[in-house]
């Protein structure tokens, strides 16, 4: 098997948006993080999963730790 292609080589035209919206019921915030990018169809599913877990979830986990103090 081939080693995975590094993200920087597999993705082009990557644009991510992090939107934070106040929740009116309580002292909370709704966070929505999206990304759009171009890639080869044969690696799309792996990239979506990898970006979701390794980038987005890791970022949300770090933000939660930072805000917890």
**Which tens digit of pLDDT belongs to each residue from 26-56?**
888 899 999 999 999 999 998 998 888 888 9
Encoding tokens for residue 59?
């970022």
Does pLDDT of 6 surpass 70? no
Does pLDDT of 15 surpass 90? yes
Encoding tokens for residue 58?
């890791």
**3 confidence band (pLDDT: 50, 70, 90):** low
The pLDDT value recorded for residue 19 is 95
Residues 6+ apart with CB under 8 A from 31: 18, 19, 20, 21, 60, 63
Buried b (16+ CB within 10 A) or exposed e, 25-54: eeeeeeeebebebebeeeeeeebeeebeee
């Amino acid at each position: 098997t081939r080693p995975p292609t590094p993200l920087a080589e597999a993705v082009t035209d990557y644009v991510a948006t992090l939107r934070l919206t106040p929740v009116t019921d309580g002292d909370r915030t709704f966070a929505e993080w999206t990304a759009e990018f171009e890639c080869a169809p044969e690696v799309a599913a792996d990239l979506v999963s990898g970006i979701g877990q390794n980038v987005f979830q890791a970022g949300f986990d770090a933000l939660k730790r930072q805000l917890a103090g």
